[in-house]
């Protein structure tokens, strides 16, 4: 989503008839003829309503003022310098940026956004009273866009974290930061939505959405309730022109506080890992899997030796809830898992072959440094060919050893696409030569016989969900019969 941008880097460049008149006067004449006590009563009522409105407005104003005063002493402007490559520095000079942070302890710990300081070589803090101090990075968590800094400055006023779980849509919130370098800027708005995921800026997204004005330079600053407690760390905005469009996103305090505590304690974040790949589904895909669920995410891969494999989760399972929460998008599922500690037992409900399943899985520990192995061509591939006309491609059968060299997920024999018929069902769906075919319909396909049996078992004219693995990533692709396939369908690219 290209119009979502981080908000942490701010660079500053320096005709009237007689009848109508009579009609208009009529109410005034009537008013003059009215008893004086009626007029007095009406005036008193209007005055009372006006005073009441003023009182409510002053009360809200005082609430905003109080929240800003309680929090402002804890908010720091973060100025960064990134030297970058020597050649770039010589030609353009060092890159400078501005963001925001919040002091969270008297001994110098500060929370901000990861993207504000991730590339910084020098970090300067500017406090509310004008003092400056340097800071160092304690730890970074790109998965949530949270970072922790430390400073040796003294006489610090720490802010407190509030409970983001009690927030509701419509609640007032206050943001404090340095938009475009304008330090200690206070804006107010409401909570527009909760649990926003799939924004596309971080791995674990569970954002609070707000219409409080947030602009470049606000990133890393606090989003607070009317008690002046931090209930979110501002991370990004939706902007088509670089400024505020009324949609901002903050990492909830429930997430940020856990990340901060882990970084301070261990310098890193420990989070749960299940070991599955998932994808969104539409009504056609759900129907093709024999499910009647209205929502869910489809498992398209299970890592070898993973907690998911041990729990019996299979590719083709449609996960509908996890830890008691309904799942609508992959981002929602990933966020729930990532918020759990390794060793936690998590319960999933899924639909498999039209039947409901309840699965308990014990989470492992996520290793963000672990990379899926890329697929490499093997010159010793077995050249067993088969033409499967219903799908419009030719397959080769591989041994378990060959599959191990190609796939980080498959643990048995598999089939690789040798050729794809132009404008055939497979080609129109986006299947390409070199793809591994691991499943057709509800059946695993380790051999050509299994692939043929899987296709023969499908109802004539029905769409076929095919599990395709490409470059270490798996995805279900719906292959439609020729009568259904759109003539100008664009190819799906992973």
Asked about 295 being catalytic, the answer comes back as no
Considering only 209-213, 236-240, 403-407, 451-455, which range has the smallest mean pLDDT? 403-407
CB 408 within 8 A of CB 438: no
Identify the CA nearest to 335 among candidates 208, 223, 166. 208
Count of structural domains, the chain: 4
Q: Which of 420 and 456 is assigned the larger pLDDT?
A: 420
The reply to whether 146 and 247 lie within a common domain is yes
Out of 241, 267, 293, pick the residue that ends a domain.
267
pLDDT digits (tens, 9 = 90+) for 414-436: 788 887 776 678 878 888 888 88
The reply to whether 42 and 183 lie within a common domain is no
Buried b (16+ CB within 10 A) or exposed e, 357-387: bebebebbebeeeeeeeebeeeeebeeeebe
466 - beta bridge partners? 440, 477
Q: What confidence score (pLDDT) does residue 294 get? A: 67
- 29 — pLDDT class (breaks 50, 70, 90): very low
The reply to whether 357 and 303 lie within a common domain is yes
- 437 — pLDDT class (breaks 50, 70, 90): confident
Residues 396-403, mean pLDDT to the nearest whole number: 73
For residue 285, pLDDT beyond 90: no
Q: Tell me which of 115, 288, 301, 446 is the catalytic residue.
A: 115
The reply to whether 213 and 173 lie within a common domain is yes
Q: Return the residue matching tokens 């749960």.
A: 272
Residues 118-143, mean pLDDT to the nearest whole number: 93
For residue 377, pLDDT beyond 50: no
Residues 260-278, mean pLDDT to the nearest whole number: 90
The reply to whether 208 and 328 lie within a common domain is no
The reply to whether 97 and 223 lie within a common domain is yes
CB 448 within 8 A of CB 395: yes
Asked about 412 being catalytic, the answer comes back as no
Q: What confidence score (pLDDT) does residue 205 get? A: 80
Separation between Cα atoms, residue 32 and residue 122, nearest integer Å: 75
The reply to whether 253 and 326 lie within a common domain is no
Q: What confidence score (pLDDT) does residue 256 get? A: 94
Residues 80-88, mean pLDDT to the nearest whole number: 68
The reply to whether 395 and 330 lie within a common domain is no
Q: What confidence score (pLDDT) does residue 259 get? A: 94
Q: What confidence score (pLDDT) does residue 264 get? A: 93
Q: Give the H/E segment covering residue 149.
A: strand 146-150
Out of 267, 297, 314, pick the residue that ends a domain.
267
> What is the pTM for the complete model shown?
0.64
Q: What confidence score (pLDDT) does residue 387 get? A: 38
Domain with 46 in it: 20-69
CB atoms within 10 A of CB 440: 25
Structure tokens at 83: 């030297």
Q: Tell me which of 164, 219, 239, 288 is the catalytic residue.
A: 219
For residue 110, pLDDT beyond 90: yes
**Residue 178 DSSP one-character state:** -
Asked about 145 being catalytic, the answer comes back as yes
The reply to whether 180 and 280 lie within a common domain is no
The reply to whether 254 and 174 lie within a common domain is yes
Q: CATH code at 354?
A: 2.30.42.10
For residue 26, pLDDT beyond 60: no
CA separation, residue 416 to residues 314, 373, 394, 465, 479 (Å): 20, 17, 9, 16, 16
214: left (phi over 0), alpha (psi -120 to 50) or beta: beta
Q: Tell me which of 74, 141, 145, 288 is the catalytic residue.
A: 145
Share of the chain above pLDDT 70, in %: 75
Q: Which of 176 and 484 is assigned the larger pLDDT?
A: 176
With the C-alpha atoms ordered 62, 109, 255, 218, is the resulting torsion angle positive or negative? positive
Considering only 137-141, 265-269, 408-412, which range has the smallest mean pLDDT? 408-412
Identify the CA nearest to 217 among candidates 76, 79, 100. 100
Looking at the domain assignment, is residue 163 inside a domain? Answer: yes
- 99 — pLDDT class (breaks 50, 70, 90): very high
Considering only 5-19, 129-143, 441-455, which range has the smallest mean pLDDT? 5-19
């Amino acid at each position: 989503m290209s119009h979502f941008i981080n908000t942490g880097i701010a660079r500053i460049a320096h005709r009237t008839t007689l009848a109508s008149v009579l009609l208009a006067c009529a109410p005034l004449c009537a008013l003059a003829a009215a008893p004086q006590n009626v007029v007095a009563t009406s005036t008193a009522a209007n005055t009372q309503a006006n005073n009441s409105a003023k009182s409510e407005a002053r009360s809200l104003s005082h609430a905003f003022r109080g929240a800003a005063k309680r929090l402002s002493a804890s908010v720091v402007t973060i100025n960064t310098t990134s030297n970058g490559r020597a050649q770039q520095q010589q030609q353009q000079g060092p890159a400078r940026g501005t963001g925001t942070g919040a002091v969270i302890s008297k001994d110098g710990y500060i929370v901000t956004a990861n993207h504000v300081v991730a590339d910084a070589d020098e970090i300067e803090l500017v406090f509310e009273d004008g003092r400056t101090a340097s800071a160092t990075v304690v730890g970074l968590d790109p998965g949530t866009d949270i970072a922790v800094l430390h400073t040796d400055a003294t006489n610090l006023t720490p802010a407190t974290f509030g409970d983001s779980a009690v927030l509701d849509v419509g609640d007032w919130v206050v943001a404090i930061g340095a938009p475009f370098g304008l330090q200690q800027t206070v804006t107010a708005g409401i909570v527009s939505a909760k649990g926003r995921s799939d924004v596309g800026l971080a791995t674990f997204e569970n954002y609070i959405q707000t219409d409080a004005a947030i602009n470049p330079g606000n990133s890393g600053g606090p989003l607070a309730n009317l008690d002046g407690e931090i209930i979110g760390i501002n991370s990004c905005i939706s902007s088509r022109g670089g400024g505020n469009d009324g949609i901002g996103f903050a990492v909830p305090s429930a997430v940020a506080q856990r990340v901060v505590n882990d970084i301070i304690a261990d310098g890193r974040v420990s989070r749960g890992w299940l070991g599955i790949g998932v994808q969104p589904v539409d009504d056609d895909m759900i129907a093709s899997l024999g499910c009647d669920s209205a929502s869910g995410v489809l498992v398209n891969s299970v890592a070898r030796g993973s907690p998911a494999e041990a729990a019996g989760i299979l590719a083709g399972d449609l996960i509908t809830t996890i830890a008691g929460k309904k799942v609508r998008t992959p981002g929602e599922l990933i966020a729930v898992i990532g918020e759990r500690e390794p060793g936690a037992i998590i319960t999933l409900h899924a639909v498999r072959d039209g039947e409901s399943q309840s699965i308990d899985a014990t989470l492992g520990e996520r290793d963000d440094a672990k990379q899926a192995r890329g697929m490499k061509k093997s010159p010793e591939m077995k050249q067993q060919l088969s033409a499967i006309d219903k799908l419009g491609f030719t397959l080769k059968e591989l041994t378990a050893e060959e599959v191990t060299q190609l796939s980080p997920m498959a643990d048995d024999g598999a089939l690789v696409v040798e050729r794809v018929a132009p404008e055939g069902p497979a080609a129109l769906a986006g299947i390409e030569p070199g793809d591994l075919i691991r499943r057709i319909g509800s059946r695993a396909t380790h051999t050509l016989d299994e692939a043929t049996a899987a296709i023969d078992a499908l109802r004539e004219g029905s769409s076929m969900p095919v599990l395709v693995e490409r470059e270490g990533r798996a995805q279900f692709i719906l292959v439609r019969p020729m009568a259904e396939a759109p003539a100008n369908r664009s190819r799906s690219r992973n």
